[in-house]
Structure 1
Amino acid sequence: MKTGTEVEASSTDLASLGLNAYESGVYLALLSRSGQGSTELAERAKVPRQRIYDVLRSLEAKGLCVARDTTPRTFFPTDPTTALPALSAKRAMELERERERTAAVALALAAQLGPLFQSGKGENDPLQYVEALADPARIAAQAIALASAAKHHVHSLIKRPLILSSEQNRRFLQVPLERGVHYRALYEREALDDPELREWMGTLSKKGQRIRVVHTLPVKMQVFDDEVALLSMQDPVGGPPSFTAVALRHRGAVALLNLAFERLWDEGTPYEDL
């Protein structure tokens, strides 16, 4: 029999699959004893009687219970070894659709509000072309937005430790290629010993990314067209890696960084020759 702590942990885990507190409680009550009526379930799960039928209908829709038309109606749990993975897959699809919808809304709003921001910028701010980002979520959002907006070319210096998640990196690296943007990337030689980075290099080179390898890179950097650069600098203090990213919108400085990239590129070994 589960202890109170174990039941609480199960309820928390079920919440991550999209169940609310009432649904989690009723499902756990169903699992503990199969074939119960609505009144008994409401009492055991501490769900208000006026809510129990809505909760049971929701569990049926999620594939977590089935009902038999007895008198009174009786409810049975579905096997969690099959029901929960199916619910997880459905939840993942819903979250992905929501992510895509949110990203589309953000891009549309950015296009609408960008001119307003430009018109409202003061003439006396000497650092209006510099934006510092410390939060990983903001760094990821900025990187993906800049990659999505690139029109002509992207130049990248890629080295560990990585800031973005695997999914964020996939989008960051593939979106420009899918739009026909000329993409060159420099990796450190130790990337060849990293299974994840080695897989990226093989996959992305087939998609059109030109890749070269150098012994070492001074900093993480992405340059988008001749307009903006994103520099990611690791905190030198020990402990878990933390980064501050600087978005630089200054054509002269970006031109200088592009020249630095070209110098490193000339020194690199083409991936296909390795």
Structure 2
Amino acid sequence: MALHRMVRDERSDFRATNPGKSDAPIGDIGVTLYAYAEGRQEVSRAELLMASGESAAEDEVLAAVHQLMELGLLRATGGDPERLVAVPPATVSADLLLPAMRALQEHQREFDRAYAGLAALTPVYASSARGGMDRCATQVITDHAGVRRAIAELAAHCTKEVLASRPGGARPEEALQESQEHAARLLERGAGVRTLYHHTAQFSQPTVEFVGMLTERGAEVRTVGDAFAELLVFDGEVAVMPLRDHPAGAVVVRDPNVVDFAVASFERTWSQGTPFPYAYNREHVLSISEDLKLAVIRLLVEGYEDKVIAKRLGMSLRTYQRHLSGIMRRIDARNRLHAGYLIHKLHLLERDS
């Protein structure tokens, strides 16, 4: 009886200091004790304590017995709390899981009722003035990852044509790789792809290879010398534009008035472009060089600073200064002011008019 009292006292102490212990997985000691009890018609707590062997600590054995009882795998029998009988796991599972399954079914019914109510209101909202405003609203995205996700989603749903303006000369290879994946899937679906670059993009080998892949699959690519805005338009319905003063961000526009204006701007620049040559042609290179010089002259006369002109033409400041030096040598100008005077006097802009 002293052993039985000790077991009861230890069990009370365990409950006080280890609440919720039965939530833990059944350990090796618990498995051993359950196997011992399952092989007998009934067993006492003291027998379980001795059956665990000398390697197991007494408090661990008591904890394992308590856990098995809380789970219902051991139950008292014959009105004696010290005599225990093993209960089949299937029986315990039914006792434990059936209430939870009933609760889940009730939650599912509540979810279905709520969803049905919301679905019934969706057409009402869509036909309202507020719903129409939401469909036309702009979405501001301030992080690069968010912009990439938005573009990927728009490209995945595009079925007719994508218009892309890519100013700034050569593009990073990572950006080219991502654009290639989107463009390839679009072209495979039969959608059109038209892209605008600055003339200077022709001197980037990765860009040349990228354009070659696009044109072989049916895309159209042109270049222009002067400035144009960065832009993506999907199916003439959604435009993606840079976010002002936030280089990593973008604004997604669905307002048809704004999108139509963006498309018209693209088409105007597109009409002035020349096909991107992905094979070297000396005459074309010379022609492009002359176009760049004319663009430099025009912007120089308009009074733009060197950095602004270089950015507008998609070239580095050093490359721009090289073009400017060549122009000034050709017209024998002493400085920028003198160059402006000579340009007007010699009517150098007439070719570009």
TM-score where L is the length of structure 1? 0.49
TM-score where L is the length of structure 2? 0.39
